[in-house]
Amino acid sequence: MDKYEKVIELAKRRGFLWNSFELYGGAAGFYDYGPLGSTLKRRIEHIWRELYIIHEGFMEIETPTIGIEEVFVASGHVSGFSDPLCECRKCGEAFRADHLVDNMIDVADALSNTELDILIKDNDIKCPECGGDLGDAYEFNLMFRTAIGPGSGRAGYMRPETAQGMFINFQRLSKFYRDKLPFGVTQIGKSYRNEISPRQGVIRLREFTQAEAEIFINPHNKTHPNFERFSGTLVNLYSEDGQERGTIEQITIGDAVKQGIIAHEYLAYHIALTNHFLWRVGISPDHLRFRQHKKDEMAHYAIDCWDAEIETDRFGWIEVVGIADRTDYDLNAHAKTSKTELYVYIEYDEPKMVTNFVVKPDMGKLGPAFKGKAKSVANVLKDMTREELEQDVIKVIVNGEEFIVSPDLVKFTEERVKVSGENVVPHVIEPSFGIDRILYCTMEHAFNEEMVAAQEETGSNKSKDPKKEKRIIFKLKSEIAPVQVAVLPLMTKSELIEPANKIVAVIRDRGLLVSYDDSGTIGRRYRRNDEIGTPYSITIDYESLDDKSVTIRDRDSMDQVRTPIENIGNLIYELVYGEREFKNAGVPV
């Protein structure tokens, strides 16, 4: 069993996650989160919200998971996310049908599937791999398509990313932030991609959770006001050059920007923030790196793009976060498709005096001269230069038709005007997190097996080898553990159960996730809690009744301290949220 299998086995057995629809034989690419799994997920999302929404101030929005066709036409998903495929009947290889006929026709990518089929047949195109016959071309789009409303309805798609919901709300969001850059918006939610072959459990799903931020910044100023916070932070960078050389270098965020490895401060800040988040949820820094997209794999519009990658036992380095400078691409795309300008007005520090060359066609004379064409002629005139207008006869071409305009029909002057700002299409910095993958990685990095001394058997029949046994510990960060503390009466006796229940109530009032367990021996219960990652266990024994104290056990070290019941709720809270060290939680036992 490799680590992946062990983690998945534990996850299934203990109620973290499992394949969906098991009752009906399952469906690939879908996973259910069980009681502990969904709590773990919420707690990871909670930390994300704390960092991005509370700390950075990027307010969260919620938009539909179904989008109308226009949105994905604009974003490029309708055309770019779909390709005509055709497969070899003999060897099964799949090919881009349009690529197969690329050299015999100019507009291969504009052909319908039927046209492609005819071309392939007429030209007797065979499988480039094995020479076998090719099957019919079919459209494969990674988006789930659906119909909105009855009948044929309006085409809709399950969103393949949460981002578009934020872009198309740009105007309202900009107003919300009083039209001042930079501002950021976030969304955590489900996205859908009809993967051809989803595998690797939760790593590649057809329905998955994304946490995305879209940060709209001034394209003329990509410095970050709070850059100092992270300039000294060390990160593992696997830059484009590093990939050539095969080396990952450890470097501070500040130096990476100075040396031009990361394009600018704003992007670098978000690489560091991502690094911080992944550390907070328990990803081990030794198995984390940031890989720069190579020029040829980066989307053509992006300036720079880095993926956070986490090293896993079975799958190697997997991408969990993408952090990109998408420039003004998305806003421009939606502006064009929706025919609505999307921009922010940015005031200059100092108003500028600008000399404008202004053309004033005399419509009173142009009208009678050119009748219905007068307006078009005037528009062309307005764009002409002084030199062109100073000719004896002015030639104007409208839709290929030439008009001669006499100079007395148009006046022009130079005007000095004060300009205090300009309309700017913001650039977008986009950190995009795959929550399911991160969750899996936190589980894998938390998974530990260690050998511990087994209890010595009493009596004469020492049948079992008493030396060592395996302890499984899920070393989840206490902040994300789905059970934060277990309350365990030492014996299943009512005089211990009653005070134990009182302690449970006190801790719940403090807002902590508690489990109560009185089944089996104390050792068994400790092991059970080790396996689901409960960081602390409280044990109530007979002495507790006299000295009003309990024992707290630390999951990782198995050390115990004795502490008064009186302040137990606050104490556990401080332990869980890192405000107090375990050794300061009481008297060592």
Partner RNA sequence: GCGCUGGUGGUUUAGUGGCUAUGACUGAGGCCUUCCAAGCCUCAAACCCGGGUUCGAAUCCCGGUCGGCGCACCA
User: In the complex, which residues of this chain contact RNA (CB under 7 A)?
Assistant: 9, 12-13, 19, 25-29, 76, 80-81, 87, 91-94, 142, 160-161, 193, 195-201, 204, 299, 314, 452, 454-455, 457, 464, 469-472, 490-493, 519-524, 526-528, 530-531, 539, 541-543, 550-551, 553, 558-560
CA atoms within 13 A on the CB side of 465: 5
- Whole-number Å distance between alpha carbons of 370 and 380: 13
Neighbours of 179 (CB within 10 A): 13
Closest to RNA by CB, 9 vs 390, is: 9
Closest to RNA by CB, 302 vs 335, is: 302
Work out how close the CB of 403 gets to RNA at its nearest, in angstroms, rounded to a whole number.
45
- Whole-number Å distance between alpha carbons of 423 and 388: 29
Closest to RNA by CB, 23 vs 393, is: 23
Question: Among 278, 313, 334, which Cα is nearest to 164's?
Answer: 334
What 3-state DSSP class applies to 133? Answer: coil
Question: Among 273, 292, 356, 330, which Cα is nearest to 51's?
Answer: 273
CA 147 to the chain's CA centroid: 27
Work out how close the CB of 457 gets to RNA at its nearest, in angstroms, rounded to a whole number.
5
Closest to RNA by CB, 49 vs 527, is: 527
- Whole-number Å distance between alpha carbons of 49 and 330: 24
By DSSP bridging, strand 427-434 and strand 207-217 are antiparallel
Work out how close the CB of 557 gets to RNA at its nearest, in angstroms, rounded to a whole number.
8
By DSSP bridging, strand 485-489 and strand 514-516 are parallel
CA 221 to the chain's CA centroid: 24
Query: 2-29 burial string, b = 16+ CB within 10 Å, else e?
Result: eebeebbebbeebbbbbbbeeeeeeeeb
Work out how close the CB of 325 gets to RNA at its nearest, in angstroms, rounded to a whole number.
15
Closest to RNA by CB, 422 vs 543, is: 543
Work out how close the CB of 515 gets to RNA at its nearest, in angstroms, rounded to a whole number.
12
CA distances from 250 to 8, 310, 315, 344, 363 (A): 32, 15, 23, 38, 68
Please return the burial class of 536, using the count of CB atoms within 10 Å of its CB with bins 0-12, 13-18 and 19+. buried
Work out how close the CB of 484 gets to RNA at its nearest, in angstroms, rounded to a whole number.
17
- The interaxial angle of helices 3-13 and 435-446, nearest 10 deg, is 100
Work out how close the CB of 92 gets to RNA at its nearest, in angstroms, rounded to a whole number.
3
Closest to RNA by CB, 32 vs 469, is: 469
* Long-range pairs of 381-389 with CB within 8 A, sequence gap ≥ 24: 381/405, 381/410, 383/359, 384/359, 385/357, 386/357, 386/412, 389/359
What 3-state DSSP class applies to 265? Answer: helix
Closest to RNA by CB, 276 vs 471, is: 471
Could you tell me the maximum CA-CA distance found in the chain, to the nearest angstrom? 122
What 3-state DSSP class applies to 167? Answer: helix
Closest to RNA by CB, 93 vs 136, is: 93
> What letter represents residue 305's amino acid?
C
Work out how close the CB of 539 gets to RNA at its nearest, in angstroms, rounded to a whole number.
4
Closest to RNA by CB, 129 vs 390, is: 129
What 3-state DSSP class applies to 342? Answer: coil
Work out how close the CB of 47 gets to RNA at its nearest, in angstroms, rounded to a whole number.
24
Work out how close the CB of 13 gets to RNA at its nearest, in angstroms, rounded to a whole number.
4
Q: Dig out the tokens for 279 from the structure.
A: 């550390």
Work out how close the CB of 121 gets to RNA at its nearest, in angstroms, rounded to a whole number.
20
Work out how close the CB of 84 gets to RNA at its nearest, in angstroms, rounded to a whole number.
12
Question: Among 1, 6, 51, 30, which Cα is nearest to 443's?
Answer: 6
Residue found under tokens 């990313």: 161
Per the CB < 8 A criterion, the answer to whether 253 and 269 are in contact is: yes
- The interaxial angle of helices 494-509 and 568-576, nearest 10 deg, is 60
Per the CB < 8 A criterion, the answer to whether 306 and 262 are in contact is: yes
Work out how close the CB of 483 gets to RNA at its nearest, in angstroms, rounded to a whole number.
14
Bridge partner residues of 324 (DSSP): 305, 430
Closest to RNA by CB, 306 vs 403, is: 306
